[in-house]
Amino acid sequence: MERPIGVIDSGVGGLTVVKEMIQHLPNESVLYLGDDERCPYGSRTTEEVHQFTMEMVQKLATMDIKLLVIACNTATAIALESVVAAYNFPVIGVIVPGARASVNSSTSHKIAVLGTTRTIQSEAYTNEIKKVAADALIYPLDCPEFVPLVESGQYQSESVKEIVHERLRHLEHADFDTAILGCTHYPLLEHHIESGLPNHVKIISSAMETVKDVERVLSERRLFAVKEAVAEHIFLTTGNSKTFKTIVEEWLALKNPNVQHIQLP
């Protein structure tokens, strides 16, 4: 088997990045780790997010990954630099690609950023967006209710629509043309987010842009799997493997995926 690409998230959110990866890099195998047991990270302290992220990376580092994607905005905001400094394999976060995509999409450079409390408080998006567009006007909004709705598998239910719309009402007086889903769980709620924002607003998820970075780094480092390689994906979760498996089957349309429960230290 080819060496896999490691992907981590606090839970199932990183699957939104894996979905794009499977579509655009079909020969690549993914080794996914979701820390569902300790999710959500977004309402935890900076120290906890840092420690939990390092524990996840440590686990995947023992499993011969060739590249790591931190498919979690919260973990990227807090721990990307430490992970890059500690390991030899290439590491890609989701915030720089997401910030770049939002600036490319926005004509007014007025951009709403939806994210977890920890991500919004870190101001990582504001800083990255301003590096690309110094004139940008950012409207940050933390949405602490969203991740638990996704983790519990309720993201398709109509009843969550009101909760999502209620939160988005905080942006009702803001004038922006682009909204970035600054949490990888949010694309699973995208239909509700879309209907809760004005029609002209473009919604950006960092998933596709992140996969472009993965492709570039694989090419630069000559790490692509061989063309004949048959991808074998493995999904590890610290939480309930049954719930996780259902979401993998629904979201990635994979039949009988290899989902295993693991414990972190």
Catalytic residues, by residue number, are 72, 183
| Of residues 147 and 180, the one with the C-beta less far from ligand DGL | 147
**Antiparallel, parallel or unpaired: β 234-237 and 67-70:** unpaired
To ligand DGL, the closest distance from the beta carbon of 146 in angstroms equals 8
| Of residues 106 and 210, the one with the C-beta less far from ligand DGL | 210
| Of residues 66 and 185, the one with the C-beta less far from ligand DGL | 185
Q: Which of 89, 82, 87 is nearest to 66 (CA)?
A: 89
Helix (H) or strand (E) holding 147: helix 146-151
| Of residues 149 and 168, the one with the C-beta less far from ligand DGL | 149
Binding window for ligand DGL (CB under 6 A); candidates: 79-87, 121-129, 178-186, 236-244: 178-186
Binding window for ligand DGL (CB under 6 A); candidates: 26-34, 70-78, 231-239, 256-264: 70-78
Tell me how many degrees the CA angle 111-40-117 measures, rounded to the nearest 5: 35
Q: Within positions 199 to 258, which residues make up the interface with ligand DGL, using CB under 6 A?
A: none
To ligand DGL, the closest distance from the beta carbon of 227 in angstroms equals 32
To ligand DGL, the closest distance from the beta carbon of 96 in angstroms equals 14
Binding window for ligand DGL (CB under 6 A); candidates: 3-11, 103-111, 172-180, 222-230: 3-11
Q: What are phi and psi of 97, to 5 degrees?
A: -60, -40
| Of residues 225 and 248, the one with the C-beta less far from ligand DGL | 248
Cβ atoms < 10 Å from Cβ of 119: 27
Cα(235)–Cα(246) distance, integer angstroms: 12
Q: Within positions 77 to 136, which residues make up the interface with ligand DGL, using CB under 6 A?
A: 116, 119
Cα(225)–Cα(208) distance, integer angstroms: 20
37 neighbors 265 (Cβ within 8 angstroms) = no
Total residues binding ligand DGL (CB under 6 A): 17
Cα(126)–Cα(131) distance, integer angstroms: 9
Binding window for ligand DGL (CB under 6 A); candidates: 25-33, 40-48, 172-180, 256-264: 40-48
User: Counting contacts by CB under 6 A, is residue 72 touching ligand DGL?
Assistant: yes
Q: Which of 32, 41, 125, 176 contacts ligand DGL by CB under 6 A?
A: 41
Q: Could you give the residue ranges of the DSSP H alpha helices within 9-108? A: 15-24, 46-61, 73-86, 95-105
201 neighbors 176 (Cβ within 8 angstroms) = yes
Q: Which of 109, 167, 185, 233 contacts ligand DGL by CB under 6 A?
A: 185
Q: Which of 216, 225, 231 is nearest to 69 (CA)?
A: 216
Q: Which of 4, 6, 34, 42 contacts ligand DGL by CB under 6 A?
A: 42
Cβ atoms < 10 Å from Cβ of 175: 11
Q: Which amino acid is at 239?
A: G
Return residues touching ligand DGL (CB under 6 A): 9-11, 13, 39-42, 72-74, 116, 119, 147, 183-185
